[in-house]
Chains A and B, each alone.
Chain A
Amino acid sequence: EVQLLESGGGLVQPGGSLRLSCRASGFTFSRYAMNWVRQAPGKGLEWVSGISGSGGSTYYADSVKGRFTISRDNSKNTVFLQVNSLRAEDTAVYYCAKDRYGDPVTFADFWGQGTLVTVSS
């Protein structure tokens, strides 16, 4: 059974940083790309970033390019999202989602339960 467990969310001041983590189990982690998708309160889904199974390719939405960095540690079955220079509009639940394929990102077939990031002074 595929399981994705996010952590690292919390309350942070504007301009601050957080490191989100997603621990995966139930599949061969290194064979699949991984995505981060966020959802602001009461709003729709927004794809944020993706990384290939090997970690050699990374992809970003224009809205976060230069501020967010995705990475993965295949020895620990974990994908990370470093979020810097946070703004109020980054407030959202951040979901980790497994991709169907290894590279590039195509679509998410399993999702975690999300971790809430709140940016406020």
Chain B
Amino acid sequence: QSALTQPASVSGSPGQSITISCTGTSSDVGGYKYVSWYQQHPGKAPKLMIYDVSYRPSGVPDRFSGSKSGNTASLTISGLQTEDEADYYCSSYTSSSTLVFGGGTKLTVL
């Protein structure tokens, strides 16, 4: 159950777009539709931002979008806002009927 691979940090200016990658294997990201993304602000609980690769829960701005190609999923945030500064985690269902998270990416909005 190795963690999914995410970049440790990304940054962007307000109004710009950024993309965070999440790389796994055919036994997790590449094999199932249950890829999700979470936003976590300091001291707060995680919040679901994307599920089933590309679907947004009610209330999540359409600036957030998700995609997947092979064993790599991606989260794109367009029109960056200062409140987007947070840690982001991907998660996937695995062939062992477990869940696995990525190591997390710290997004800095410059």
Closest Cβ neighbor of B50 among chain A residues: A107
**Do A50 and B99 form a contact, CB below 8 Å, given A44-B89, A111-B47?**
yes
Contacting pair A95 B1 (CB below 8 A): no
Chain A residues with CB below 8 A from B100, complex form? 47
A44 contact set on B, CB distance < 8 A: 3, 87, 89, 101-104
Are A107 and B102 interface neighbours, CB within 8 A?
no
**Mask of A94-121 contacts with B, CB within 8 angstroms, 1/0:** 0100001000111111111110000000
Q: Could you tell me if B38 and A45 are in contact, using CB atoms closer than 8 angstroms?
A: yes
For chain B, the bracket of interface size reads 20 to 34
A side interface size, CB within 8 A:
25
**Inter-chain contact B45/A113, CB cutoff 8 Å:** yes
Which stretch from B16-24, B68-76, B78-86, B90-98 is at the chain A interface? B90-98
In the assembled complex, the CB of A114 is this many whole angstroms from the nearest CB of chain B, namely 6
Pairs across A and B, CB under 8 Å, 17 listed:
A44-B3, A44-B104, A45-B104, A50-B98, A50-B99, A62-B1, A100-B51, A104-B93, A107-B34, A107-B36, A108-B48, A108-B99, A109-B51, A111-B47, A112-B45, A113-B45, A114-B45
Interface centre among B45, B48, B89, B100 (most CB of A within 10 A): B45
Q: How far is the CA of A44 from the CA of B91 in the complex (A)?
A: 12
| Contact B102 A106, beta carbon cutoff 8 Å | no
